[in-house]
Each structure stands twice: as C-alpha cells, then as structure tokens.
Structure 1
Amino acid sequence: MSAAPVSTRVMNLASMLSQTARRLGPDLALVWGDLRLSWAELETRACACAAALQGLGVAKGDRVLVHSSNNIQMIEAMFACWRLGAVWVPANFRLAPAELAGLAETAAPKLLIGHAAFPEHARACAGLVEATVTIGGGEADYDALVAAHMGQAPDAVAVDRDDPAWFFFTSGTTGRPKAAVLTHGQMAFVITNFMCDLMPDSGPGDASLVVAPLSHGAGVHLLGQVAKGVKTVLPPGTGFDPGVIWQLVQDWRITNAFTVPTILKRLVEHPAVDTADHSALRHVIYAGAPMYRADQIRALEKLGAVLVQYFGLGEVTGSITVLPPVHHTTDDSQMRLGTCGFARTGMEVQVQDDDGRALGPNETGEICVIGPAVFAGYHNNPEANAKSFRNGWFRTGDLGHMDAEGFVYLTGRASDMYISGGSNIYPREIEEVILRIPGVSECAVLGVPDPEWGEVGLAVVVPEPGAALDPQAVQAGIAPHLARYKLPKSVVLWEELPKSGYGKVTRKLIRAELERRGQWPAP
C-alpha cells in the first residue's frame, strides 16, 4: 500500500549557513587575502545581501547570474539568493563576453552580479537583465548595497524539494553549455553525501583550500565545509601560483582541498611541495577528469595516502563514484589500475548497452546512474532531457566497465572514441602508455580522418622541460605495449596543451589548435 507524501517541503539551503553561524558564531569562516569573516559576520552579510537583492526586485524563482573570479562576495550572494528562493547562476569568469551573454539568454536572469574587472561582460548582458550589481566599484556597488542593508534579514523563503537552487552550466565541450537544474532537496543530499564519502571526519577544527572556480565543483565542495563548520581559505588574486598554494597549506594547516588532475599535477611538480609543511592534509580530492597513473603515483609519493578521487558530472553534482585513500597506492600490483571507485552512498551505477540493458562484469558500455544526486533536468531543453534519460537512468555519455566487485573503470567519453579499420579505439588507453615514456609531461590522443582506415590516432605530446623527445622516440616507446592497430599514426610535439576555464584538457580545444596550426588532416 502506498501513500502520497504529506509534504515535499525541505530546508532552504540558506538555513545551513544560519545554523552554523548560530552554533559557531565567532569562529573563523572565510579567509581571503587579508580579509577575515567569522560565521556570524558571513551570515549577517549574506542576509544584508538578500535584503539588497530583494530591494532590486529579486523574488522566489528569479535567476541571478554571477560572473566573477573567486571572492567572498560570490559566497555571500549564493546564500542570499537561496534565502529569497532565487536561483544562483554562476558562470566561469574566463568566459568571453559573448559566451556569458549566451548563458544569460539560456537562464533569462533577473539580475547580473558582475566583477568590475569585466566591464565588457556586463555590457554584453545589459539588454538581457533588468539590473547589474558590480563587485569592486561602479554605480551599483555590491559592498555599498550590502552596507546599506546591514542589520536586515529577510526570512528564508519556504522551498520544496524540487525548487531550483542552482543552474550548473555544463562545460560545453560539445555545443552550447546547458543549464543543469540543481534543487534544494537534491543539494541537501549531495552535501550529506560529500561529507559521508569524501571527508567523513571533518569539523570546526579543519581548514579547506579552494583551488578551482567556485562557479562549479569547488562551490559544491564549499557547501560541505559550511555544513560542518570548516573554515575556507581563498587564495588571493585570480592566477594560479603553486608556491602561494603551498604557503597557504602550511600557514593555515589545510586539511582538505578540491582540485582537478591537471592542477594537482602542477602542484606536486612544483619545488614548494618539498619545502612546505603539508602534514595536516588528510583529503586531497581530485575530480573532473581521470588522473593518469604516472601523475597519480607522483602525487602519492609527494603527499602520502591522502588522495580521494570521485567521478561525477555536474548533472549528478559529482556524486557517482568515490575512490578513498585506502584504495590508492603506488604499487601497481595492489592498485585497481584505472578505476574511479565504487558507487557513492545512496547512488546506483550501472553499465548499459545501447538498448539500456545492464551489462555483465568487465563488459564495456555507457555509465548510467540513478539516485537523489541526479539533477532535475536541463532548463528549457526538452530535447536534451529526452536524450539524457532512459528508463529513469541518467546517461552520462561516459564509456567504461564495472568489475565483479563493483569498481567502475572509465574508458572515455563516447564522443572521444574513434573507429579505425572497424575497431573501436579508446584514447585514454593509449595516453596512459605515452605518459609512462620518460620525458613526457602531458599528452592527448584524438581520432583524425584517414582515407584508408576511416580514422587513425594522432598523439599530441608535451615534453618535460629539457627533455629531448622526437615523434619517432614516442612511437617507439608506445609500440611494445599496444596492439598494432591502436598505435597512433602520427605524433606532434607542443610546449603545452590548451586547457578549458575549468583546468581540463578537452579534445575540442586541442582539435581547434591542431586546425589553427595546420596539423589536422584534410578529410
């Protein structure tokens, strides 16, 4: 016998900050350069921001587009939006003005909160919003508005489980970015899941370092710190300086950090990793892309047993699989090589064929997932929603397999696979081999047109500084380890690989650069 739910009302996410501020008021909450905010101060400022936004006409259901590099104001605005029942819509600050305007067209925001350092972005969105608030100066200065409303605290609006809280834009590696709708009820589960699976022993004595844009995964990571009363440290400035990062790790006794593999690679390759005291670190969480084995080993050698990997798209808010420290080792014979872990608490993962049937152990198919962390769908995009869901399962678009014990292994994106002479080729397998060649720092393999085989592999390789590499040496290093049909037909050497605004290596950017350099074969 079933019964309809009596209520679908859930906690407004803004109440999470209110609860922590009530419990830990004078304790330090945020550090950004010379600026310090206690939990009570952060709550007071977030409430004042909510009152200011309310005065500008923002109400429940309205979207507020935020375009800024990491700062404390972004965090205040996030909780302010939620207090009003509005939707926080953060954008990567590295987007071009036209790209930001494209996001505004998708989200139809009421208001833009933009940083004074990006006036062209504000101008690009001027006709798409009713008002603009500027962080760091301008006619409608953010800090002036907050100061004018200090002491005011609008009540947190009542919300239901499926009320939107956050539009999480996909990175747009193929086509225009889509707005994944994250809800109050879903995000409450995600926060609980993060603290359960990624940082199970965190509390007010800990400190977290932000090493990625708050507009995406680092923002989700931050919410767990707020829930558990963990202070957050934001590096000053907008650039990435490994030396500064390691100094902050030492000075603030950082216990956890969220980053992506490319950034973690740069951190452990920097000389400061050997001089800074990072003994307080317990959880260095990496996600956003698989980490190559060679880089994984180096990080373990430098940092010890602190690595935590998770796999999860923005649409599942990072909550698909987890690989905790106990499953990381430098010993290949003891490591499940290539795994991204097992299903997160409360989530179910399945590998399916093209018809949606579950595949057996070690059979390759599409990774699909169900559970409370799955988003509510794409905003105003029924076509994308129809493609992304099948029989209730969210289709990640990632290919892989699962072993008999439930550990998931990613082969790559379905769009990354290429077919050469009728055989499926998965670039990641080849990339892992290339990165074991002495002198190789980074690499990427793409399928390119070929008149005989349809497609063949092209490897873009970045040598380590001072390394003497040539294409023939790279091909000779690959040959003993792969079947002949998997060998890249050509190798090009670059000084670096282009990265997305999220620090990811994407084949879309690499192809564009190959074409620009005249290295992409004609069809």
Structure 2
Amino acid sequence: MSGLPGPAMPELRPAVRAVNLAELLSQTARRLPGHDAVVHGADRITWRELDRRADAVAAELRARGVGRGDPVLVDAPNQVGLIAAMFGVWRAGGVFAPVNHRLTPPETADLAELVAPAALICHGSHTGHAEAVRAAAAPRAGVLWIDAPPGEGPDLAALPRPADPEPNEPVRTGDHAWYFFTSGTSGRSKAAVLTHDQMGFVVTNHLCDLLPGTDHTDAQVVVAPLSHGAGVHLLPLVARGATTVLPTSASLDPAEVWRLVETERVSSMFTVPTILKRLAEAPEAARHDLGSLRHVIYAGAPMYRADADRARAVLGEVLVQYYGLGEVTGNITVLPPGEHDRPVPDGLQFGSCGRPRTGIQISVQDDDGRELPAGEQGEICVAGPAVFAGYLNNERANAESFRDGWFRTGDLGLVDAAGYLYVTGRASDMYISGGSNIHPREIEEKLLQHPAIDEVAVLGMPDPQWGEIGVAVYVAAAGHDEAGEVELRDWLAGRMARYKIPKRFVRWETIPKSGYGKIVKRTIREQLEPAPAPAGVPGPGIP
C-alpha cells in the first residue's frame, strides 16, 4: 500500500505573519534597557542605546527608499556599528547581506553583482571596496558609513535618533532576512537565503542545544567575523540579553581574548577549530582565570582529535561541537561537553560530531538517494526547519542541492546505532589513486598525532601513472623543523594501508585559510605544482 497516493491535502493558507528578527533587540531593550549590550574597549553600549542606534539606521534607510525585501550589503569589521546596522536593516524590512571584511574590492564587487544591493553600509577603511560596489551594482540608495572617511557621509554613529521608535517592518513566512555568503573555498561564492521564520527556529535551537541556561548575566567574547557564523551566534545572546564583548585588536590576539574572558566574566564564545587551536596553545590561557567559561562552541570544519584533546586539557570540559553548513545555519548536530569522550566505532579514526539537533533529521544516503543503515558511509543529507530556502538566483545549484526534499550537504559520513554522526570527509575532497577511493581526513588525523606536525592538509593531485596521488602539505610544530618526508611516511606506514599514504610531503611555513579560518584546499591546489611520485616509492595499489 506504500506506493499508493495518500489522501488529498487541504490547501494551505497563504504565507502568515512571521517575526522580524529585529524584534529580538526590541524586546530585550524594553526588558533590560540599562544593561550592557556591547562592550568594545572603553565603550559600554546599553541595550537602550543599541536599540536607538538601530532606529537611526532604519529611519535613514527608509528615508532613502529601502524597504521590505531590499538587500543591503554590509562591509565592516566587528564593532558596534556593524551590530546596529544588522538590526537596523531588519527593522526597515531589508535583507542583511554582510561580506567578510577581509575580501578584496573585486571579491566584494562580485557579491554586489550577485545580490544587487539597494544600499551599501561600509567601513571608512574600505573606500576602495565602496567604489568597486558602486561600479558593479550602483546601489540606488547610496552608501552609509561606519567611521566615515573625510568628505564622506553620513556616519551611522552620527545619525539623528528619531523622535519616536522606528517600528519593525511586518514580515511574512518566507521573507528573506539574511544573504549568507558561502566561504568560496571550492569556487565562486553563492548566497544562501535565510528567512525570518527559519532564523527564529535557529535562535531557539541554539539556546536549546548549544547555550542552555543562558540569560542576561552571561557574556560572550567574539573571536570570529560577525559576517558569518559568529553573527548567527550573536542572535540568541541578544534574545537573552547577554553581553557581547568585542576585542579591539584588528586580528586575533589570544592575550586580549583571555584577558577579556577574565575581566568580563565571559561564559561563551563561538569559534572555529583553527582559532580554538591558537587560543588553547597560547601561554596566556594559563595566566588568566577562565572559570567563567561554560560553552566554548566550535564549528565550521572538522577539529582533529589531537587539537580537541589539547583544548580540553587547557580549558576543561566546556567544548561544544556542532556540525552544520551555512545552508542549514549550523543546525545539524551537537556534541555537548560531557560527550567528547564518546567511544569511537571500530574502523574509525576520529570521534563523533554529535547527535541530531532538536527538530532536525539526518539521513545518510547512497548515490541513488537510498538511506543507508548504521555503519555505512554515504552522503549526509538533512531535513528540518533550519534548512535554508535555497540559493539566490541560482536554480542549477538549487536543483543539485536538494533531492526528494532532503538538503544534500556534499559531506560524507555515517551514523552509529545510537544515531550519532561521524563526518568522514568532503565528497569533493575524495580522490581516486590507482583505482582506490581515498579520503584525506583519515590521513590528516594520523599525521596530526605526530609531534612534529602542527597543521596539515592532504589532497589529490593529477598524476599520469596513478590518475591522482596524495600530497600532504604540512606546517612543522615549533622545535621540529627537521621532520621530513621519510620520517612522516614511516610514521604512517604502521598506521594505515600503504595505498593511502601520500606520495609527496611538502613543508610550508603557513597553510592558506579563508577569512573564516578554514583551510582552503582550492588555494593549496593552485599553489602546488603537479609532480610524479618520487623514485622508489610504491604506487597506491589496491588494498
């Protein structure tokens, strides 16, 4: 009977009223007007003041004709003006489209062409970016500035506060709220469409699964760009009235971060594995009182077991891992502090990234879309309210990313009998050498157990004999500059099948990373010159 059509479903009502994300700020400002919302150096901004700054942004945008559904491109580093712009754009009904402040002018112009912004909000240090956006997209409402350069204006901080509070623009289910740009590590960026109702679920889910017990007595320190995952993480903190602390350093300064954790009694932070690794290895971590920390959340890329264990040894049992793409707004799995020692199934070399988030379903599928049983590797697919609405103006990508209603992550993994997920690699990272499929993550995990390796990336490169060969690009740990190819190959020889061992080992001073802290294998591939396997080294063979 399962193949027969079900009963006819009644016609659904049209799109209903959703809650504008700016309402998060409105409610908190009414409830906690004098409480610290943002701390940035000597500046302590209350919720009342932040709300009034958002009012001023919204009023200015409305005066320029920006309203419901109009994209506003925002290019600024982490500071109060960026947060005011975020909520001001939503209050006016616009779509928040933040770019990574580290992009070049041409890259920013490409994103402007993609979203066709009605207005640009730009930091005064990026006049070249503003010119590039003007040339590429000609925003009809012009440019507003954060820390305006001489001769330019208006400056957001100097905008007059409206006599009466600005209302939050009414929105409906499905209305666009955020154009979340993919990091572009494997090609040109796309804009994932996040909606107000979807993000309302995400905020609730973050509080439930990542930040339980958070309230106005808590504080977070921001160590990643608010244009990406850290910006999503900001929203549940706003909902609960917790304080956001912004470091003053232009780049990551572990000494400042750990000082702020102590002085501001920081209880949470959102980070990515490469940043968490630096913070945990910094000597300042041992010089400050970090006892206020409860939730050190890391996501965005796999964290190697050796790095996670080191961070736990330094910070205690406060690590919260989640797995999630921007297209699912980070909401796929969670691994809370008490589960980081969960036993690893036979045959796997690394731990779980957690169990499904509340309200989310995971399906590991084969190439034909059939769900695989526990223990079998396939593509990780996801369903639930956190899944995005699709890519902006990219029907081809939408068609490729969904199958039978499931969002296809492009990642490979398996689930155990209890439903915990193990990400084994990225489908696009897999390479075929001598007829064998090879997944880099297993090799990377093994190499990071060697004391001479600080960072590593393994990828397949073209080879006339084997089709592709494995190349390991690594950064040597301090005091281990002598580690070489023979030593590393011998290290792996007793730990994995011969055909998996890379044929080249290349030592670099640094490994390229995106503005979000992710290792960029596309850039590594572009910088590597294909070369044949060294003489005398056995080929991959068949296991």
Aligned equivalent of 1:135, options 134, 146, 152: 146
CA distance in 1, matches of 2:461, 2:442: 17
CA distance in 1, matches of 2:334, 2:466: 38
Deviations 1:222-254 (A, max 9, x none): 001001111000111321111111111111111
Aligned equivalent of 1:41, options 35, 49, 63: 49
Change (3 A) 1:7 1:166: closer
Offset, 1:156: 1.1
- SS class of match (1:254): coil
Aligned equivalent of 1:356, options 361, 369, 377: 369
CA distance in 1, matches of 2:214, 2:524: 39
Runs of 5+ unmatched residues, structure 1? none
Look up the match of 2:97: 89
- SS class of match (1:396): strand
CA distance in 1, matches of 2:79, 2:210: 24
Aligned equivalent of 2:487, options 453, 473, 489: 473
Q: Is the 8 A contact 2:182 2:326 kept in 1?
A: yes
- SS class of match (1:265): helix
Aligned partner letter, 2:446: V
Deviations 1:340-374 (A, max 9, x none): 11110000011011111101111111100010000
Q: Is the 8 A contact 2:71 2:97 kept in 1?
A: yes
The yes-or-no answer on 1:403 pairing with 2:413 is: no
Larger CA deviation: 287-296 vs 454-463:
454-463
Aligned partner letter, 2:59: A
Q: Is the 8 A contact 1:169 1:180 kept in 2?
A: yes
The yes-or-no answer on 1:274 pairing with 2:282 is: no
Aligned equivalent of 1:12, options 3, 20, 31: 20
Aligned equivalent of 1:323, options 324, 335, 341: 335
Aligned partner letter, 1:272: E
Aligned partner letter, 1:475: R
Matches within 5 A, 1:476-491: 476-491=490-505
Aligned equivalent of 1:415, options 418, 424, 428: 428
Change (3 A) 1:520 1:360: same
Aligned partner letter, 1:324: P
Matches within 5 A, 1:428-447: 428-447=441-460
Look up the match of 1:186: 198
CA distance in 2, matches of 1:6, 1:407: 37
CA distance in 2, matches of 1:395, 1:144: 40
CA distance in 2, matches of 1:80, 1:152: 15
Aligned equivalent of 1:521, options 531, 535, 539: 531
Look up the match of 2:474: 461
CA distance in 2, matches of 1:103, 1:358: 36
Deviations 1:432-478 (A, max 9, x none): 00000112111110111122221111111111112131111111111
Offset, 1:133: 1.2
Q: Is the 8 A contact 1:8 1:160 kept in 2?
A: yes
Deviations 1:388-413 (A, max 9, x none): 00000000011111111111111111
Aligned partner letter, 2:58: A
Look up the match of 2:514: 500
Change (3 A) 1:144 1:171: closer
Deviation beyond 4 Å, 4+ runs, structure 1: 330-336
CA distance in 1, matches of 2:498, 2:110: 44
Offset, 1:11: 1.1
Offset, 1:151: 3.5
CA distance in 2, matches of 1:490, 1:287: 29
Aligned partner letter, 2:143: T
Offset, 1:481: 0.4
Aligned partner letter, 1:456: I
CA distance in 2, matches of 1:170, 1:69: 18
Aligned partner letter, 1:485: Y
Offset, 1:145: 6.7
CA distance in 1, matches of 2:325, 2:389: 14
CA distance in 2, matches of 1:310, 1:336: 19
The yes-or-no answer on 1:512 pairing with 2:523 is: no
CA distance in 2, matches of 1:293, 1:102: 37
Aligned partner letter, 1:453: W
Change (3 A) 1:144 1:267: closer
RMSD: 1.8
Look up the match of 1:79: 87
Offset, 1:4: 2.6
CA distance in 2, matches of 1:126, 1:333: 54
Deviations 1:459-512 (A, max 9, x none): 111111121311111111111000011011111111121111111112112112
The yes-or-no answer on 1:122 pairing with 2:130 is: yes
CA distance in 2, matches of 1:429, 1:142: 52
Aligned partner letter, 2:23: S
Aligned equivalent of 2:440, options 408, 411, 427: 427
CA distance in 2, matches of 1:30, 1:411: 39
Look up the match of 2:207: 195
Offset, 1:3: 6.0
Offset, 1:140: 4.6
- SS class of match (2:445): helix
CA distance in 2, matches of 1:144, 1:158: 24
Change (3 A) 1:90 1:232: same
Change (3 A) 1:10 1:170: same
Look up the match of 2:303: 291
- Equivalent pairs, count: 519
Change (3 A) 1:333 1:313: closer
Larger CA deviation: 139-148 vs 170-179:
139-148
Change (3 A) 1:145 1:296: closer
Matches within 5 A, 1:313-392: 313-329=325-341, 337-392=350-405
Larger CA deviation: 233-242 vs 329-338:
329-338
The yes-or-no answer on 1:158 pairing with 2:170 is: yes
Offset, 1:154: 2.4
Offset, 1:147: 3.0
Q: Is the 8 A contact 1:186 1:374 kept in 2?
A: yes
Aligned partner letter, 1:439: A
Aligned equivalent of 1:55, options 33, 39, 63: 63
CA distance in 2, matches of 1:142, 1:4: 45
CA distance in 1, matches of 2:250, 2:409: 31
Look up the match of 2:537: none
Runs of 5+ unmatched residues, structure 2? 1-8, 534-543
Q: TM-score, normalised by structure 1?
A: 0.96
CA distance in 1, matches of 2:343, 2:20: 46
- SS class of match (1:457): strand
Change (3 A) 1:366 1:330: closer
Q: Is the 8 A contact 1:52 1:146 kept in 2?
A: no
Q: Is the 8 A contact 2:122 2:144 kept in 1?
A: yes
Aligned partner letter, 2:483: L
CA distance in 2, matches of 1:498, 1:253: 33
